[in-house]
Chain A
């Protein structure tokens, strides 16, 4: 009797805190869902998730253990069920997969070694390909046999730009003065105006591709029923975005990972390091063309300039973060998640960027031309692969995850709000227990 009462009051409490969701899955107007399993999709997911995931017997341990599983809509149990039945469309349209941090708490606890965490990672890869524009670029990025092509392309393009440097300069009427200005010319061989122009052009392309992908994605996740909410959003988009950004900057969901504690830290290092590098890069590019700063802008920075310091600290953070990530992935495959080519390609590219960057810097201070030019060229090729292929690589999580997190707040997705994390930042035992009891069963 006492136990029953307690459970009831607990449920009541929870009911006050979180709005119950009425429709767990996309509505089908009362008609049965016609399923025609996509065998190619199943094979692809199986290949990506290390072992076959077709072991799941729907016990719900994954949902019970997942810190972001809502209490009425088991996650990732329902995704596992869809994956088992090869329901490709439904998985590609499921924004929940982007809320997962691949912390692998579920994979470690899965009694059948079905590794739900790795399955979701594989689904995200499929999503990146699915939403990418043009799609073939994403297919190239996701397969190792295209590595020579993908690295060769920027090398050739950049080489071509260098070869055609003077004709371009002439055509643009920038020839002599710019070529001699320290502001615009790192070296006569590889002038800054050329690099800025080159990268500016391709960044515009990547930006356009990212926007197309995001628009496709947002259109899908704004469809009725996707978030399980029936009514209109209860809060403003801006405040939702602000909450999501706060979550991202504090990694508050990621830190509830118990399977591999060092993963949130490594991600934080890379995350803030990358932001630092981006800020400095942005400052350098704009500083150079900013007419107000034109003469005050001194470049190259001195070693002790705050900008240089920020860049070096950022670079070091990315380097340390990358080393940690590589170490986790190599040493603890079970807990860190099954690393696929898609994962490796991204981490190694990032690592190559930061290593080649520091090498360039070192050679610069050692005044070792022309070696530094060669290394710098390599560095730029890696920067290109990292930035321009962003919408097609694992880096695209920057776009989709952020968007999904914002919309999760916007539509009040149960479990995405901060209720699962208690005030002191620990996982709230009570709501976690609730997830264990109610999250185990599909309604």
Chain B
């Protein structure tokens, strides 16, 4: 289809006062030979309507609107087939630079050139449609409270669900509980768990097919096209035998938790009357009363030791958040048993967040429940067949000792999740140990084996992903997700961890969480069916195209993709699984051969934008600084800079990128060749508390930046000409300082020597 380009220039918002609008028009009509250039008073409301009328009457298919920030347009502001490039002159030029000055005018004209270049290079989007139909049914792994809830909620929304449970019965931990902590006002009374009703609801729902005593033997494919093989987990059938095979669209991982190992200094396993909270729960559930395991005598006094499994800071330094509530609940069991029974709770921190404070009060007000902070230093047998518990640093200000029949350790929660990346690394190391060609490599592999040995044989999902058979994990073994901004999301598109597998939580929390995860899974299959990306570029219809003839099988893209989109064959050829893709472009930034491109975002498009800027020669003393800004935080921060009327720099030219990880560093060398005096890359925070929407993008950029510095050295350029910053969206006020300092630096080291060459 032939390009019909149109340019609209807003005169409102003070743009006409600050800039020479006629000169801007001339850039379009004279430099770019755009036949249609029109000034409009506004690009919102009636102004937007008139723009759309002109687009329709002129039959435009590519449009540049110089006016407000792209973020200020409502969704679906323009017809879908029209490629629109809004230029945020208001926020990033008029509001943050002095009016009616030559330098300001140059900025505006350059931006018009950049976006005209971009719109010219863009191609119409064709949403990804695989040959096979996208399957919209869901797989729920785990039949506990979270899994059951996810299955019921998804079925209620009209989706077919397959529910897999490893054990022979549904219900998980909640089915083993006598009572539940309160879930409704006034949050004071113990409740029935309600799990039987939920199981009955699942059993009765024709849209849910339940597999018990089964595990996910293999999951191949990608969202909408997952091929699942269920294998028997024993209980009648031979273990490992294939139970069923089917296709599903998305997965909810509700694999729950397991209790942590208790503190080593407490005699768990050595003394019969020292048990864990899970065992007490099962005791009450099965025999209806609390007894001493040693002699079956009724327990009249019980001591609960909090953080009983968490004090090994090396392996378990997080709070499981519900052990305190569980101990308070179990203390009430003790009290219900006999009006003269006593329950002691020794804690480091009593944590009963939110409304659970009422439950804490309920237990505290009970005459026979005794709470104190304290370090339990000793648990030893006493003369009457019980135990004496000694604690120091108590609220009583002294070391105290109580004699009890039973000691209960509050064990923390460990997620039932496996670290896919670690498992893969382990496998690689094993291969290296056998086939490795150097001693150094073998030594590294041996170290890896030692470091990751606890990951051996921990597979749960058994995904057919190049980056490992399970979701990658965070520090504590929870599946990696951007839990601050986007809970439920994992780094494997279409797989949503929930419940206690995602974060320590109770039954009530699991119900809410699983409902959310079911909705995310539904969103995923629906958007995948339309060929759209899921979060965070939700609705994006572009997808990466690999020009395979030039691929060198270097594996950078398959290794660096944060979402494990690419599998590879034996030779290392990347195999695209497009429905896994989040469209961040990290592969585009990674590829040394520059074979990865999107229809509206490619090495060529961005490179051309950069080169579209008019760089004055060095005698004009007008430096040009290229700012490559992440669209998610840094670019909106530049808008905020204008909104707050802070002063920007007339020397900068900003290019937004999908993610700093998508920056192909050829752009930097090209910018240097084009005469820019320096480049500032601004991305999201990375590290343990990362804020990168694509998890690894900004971190990858920082690694690649080092290579760029080497390249600059080869070009005999100062390496200081490239800077990388991490910026939160609310740190917009730091930007003027960054620009000013960089301009001073350029002033100091001089203009780019390649300028004008």
Given contacts A34-B403, A37-B342, contact A52 B368 (CB under 8 A): no
Within 8 A of A (CB), among B390-427: 390-392, 395-403
| In the bound complex, CA of A34 to CA of B342 (Å) | 15
* Contact (Cβ within 8 A) B365 A33: no
**Partner pick for A39 among B340, B371, B403, CB 8 A cutoff:** B340
Given contacts A33-B396, A442-B395, contact A85 B370 (CB under 8 A): yes
* Contact (Cβ within 8 A) B403 A54: no
**Partner pick for A24 among B397, B400, B402, CB 8 A cutoff:** B397
| In the bound complex, CA of A443 to CA of B395 (Å) | 10
CB distance from A166 to the nearest CB of B (A): 58
CB distance from B535 to the nearest CB of A (A): 42
Given contacts A34-B401, A34-B403, contact A82 B367 (CB under 8 A): no
* Contact (Cβ within 8 A) B401 A33: yes
* Contact (Cβ within 8 A) B401 A81: no
B129 located at the interface, meaning its Cβ lies under 8 Å from any Cβ of chain A in the complex? no
**Partner pick for B390 among A32, A46, A442, CB 8 A cutoff:** A32
CB distance from B370 to the nearest CB of A (A): 6
| In the bound complex, CA of A25 to CA of B365 (Å) | 25
Given contacts A34-B402, A36-B402, A37-B370, contact A54 B364 (CB under 8 A): yes
Q: Can you list 10 contacts pairing A with B, beta carbon distance less than 8 Å?
A: A32-B391, A33-B400, A35-B396, A37-B368, A39-B367, A54-B369, A57-B364, A84-B370, A85-B372, A86-B370
Interface centre among A32, A46, A78, A82 (most CB of B within 10 A): A32
Q: Per-position contact with A for B332-366: 1 when CB-CB < 8 Å, else 0? A: 00000000101000000000000000000100111
* Contact (Cβ within 8 A) A442 B397: yes
Within 8 A of B (CB), among A57-79: 57-58, 78
Given A34-B403, A35-B396, 17 new contacts (CB under 8 A) = A25-B397, A32-B390, A32-B391, A33-B396, A33-B398, A37-B342, A37-B368, A54-B366, A54-B367, A55-B365, A81-B395, A81-B396, A81-B397, A84-B370, A84-B371, A85-B396, A442-B397
Question: What residues of chain B lie closer than 8 Å to A442, measured between beta carbons?
Answer: 395-397
Question: What residues of chain B lie closer than 8 Å to A52, measured between beta carbons?
Answer: 365, 367
| In the bound complex, CA of A84 to CA of B399 (Å) | 16
| In the bound complex, CA of A52 to CA of B366 (Å) | 9
| In the bound complex, CA of A24 to CA of B390 (Å) | 20
Question: What residues of chain B lie closer than 8 Å to A25, measured between beta carbons?
Answer: 397-398
A216 located at the interface, meaning its Cβ lies under 8 Å from any Cβ of chain B in the complex? no
CB distance from B324 to the nearest CB of A (A): 13
Closest A residue to B388 using CB positions: A34
Q: Per-position contact with A for B532-572: 1 when CB-CB < 8 Å, else 0? A: 00000000000000000000000000000000000000000
CB distance from B5 to the nearest CB of A (A): 66
Given contacts A32-B390, A37-B342, A55-B361, contact A42 B398 (CB under 8 A): no
Within 8 A of B (CB), among A67-125: 78, 81-82, 84-86
Interface centre among A28, A55, A78, A84 (most CB of B within 10 A): A84
Closest B residue to A443 using CB positions: B397
| In the bound complex, CA of A55 to CA of B396 (Å) | 15
CB distance from B715 to the nearest CB of A (A): 52
* Contact (Cβ within 8 A) B368 A39: yes
A43 located at the interface, meaning its Cβ lies under 8 Å from any Cβ of chain B in the complex? yes
* Contact (Cβ within 8 A) B340 A35: no
- What number of B residues sit within 8 Å (CB to CB) of A? 24
**Partner pick for B398 among A28, A54, A84, CB 8 A cutoff:** A28
Question: What residues of chain A lie closer than 8 Å to B365, measured between beta carbons?
Answer: 52, 54-55
| In the bound complex, CA of A32 to CA of B401 (Å) | 6
Closest A residue to B350 using CB positions: A57
Question: What residues of chain A lie closer than 8 Å to B402, measured between beta carbons?
Answer: 34-36
CB distance from A91 to the nearest CB of B (A): 12
* Contact (Cβ within 8 A) A78 B401: no
* Contact (Cβ within 8 A) B399 A33: yes
Q: Per-position contact with A for B83-126: 1 when CB-CB < 8 Å, else 0? A: 00000000000000000000000000000000000000000000
Question: What residues of chain B lie closer than 8 Å to A35, measured between beta carbons?
Answer: 396, 400-402
* Contact (Cβ within 8 A) A43 B398: no
CB distance from A159 to the nearest CB of B (A): 45
Closest B residue to A43 using CB positions: B367
Question: What residues of chain B lie closer than 8 Å to A28, measured between beta carbons?
Answer: 398
CB distance from A268 to the nearest CB of B (A): 36
| In the bound complex, CA of A46 to CA of B401 (Å) | 24
Within 8 A of A (CB), among B373-402: 390-392, 395-402
Given contacts A37-B370, A54-B365, A55-B365, contact A32 B400 (CB under 8 A): yes
| In the bound complex, CA of A28 to CA of B398 (Å) | 10
Question: What residues of chain A lie closer than 8 Å to B371, measured between beta carbons?
Answer: 84
Question: What residues of chain A lie closer than 8 Å to B401, measured between beta carbons?
Answer: 32-35
| In the bound complex, CA of A82 to CA of B370 (Å) | 11
Question: What residues of chain B lie closer than 8 Å to A43, measured between beta carbons?
Answer: 367
Question: What residues of chain B lie closer than 8 Å to A36, measured between beta carbons?
Answer: 402-403
Question: What residues of chain A lie closer than 8 Å to B370, measured between beta carbons?
Answer: 37, 84-86
| In the bound complex, CA of A35 to CA of B390 (Å) | 10
Question: What residues of chain B lie closer than 8 Å to A37, measured between beta carbons?
Answer: 342, 368, 370
CB distance from B590 to the nearest CB of A (A): 52
CB distance from A50 to the nearest CB of B (A): 13
Closest A residue to B390 using CB positions: A32
Closest B residue to A57 using CB positions: B364
CB distance from B177 to the nearest CB of A (A): 26
CB distance from A422 to the nearest CB of B (A): 30
* Contact (Cβ within 8 A) B367 A42: yes
Question: What residues of chain B lie closer than 8 Å to A58, measured between beta carbons?
Answer: 395
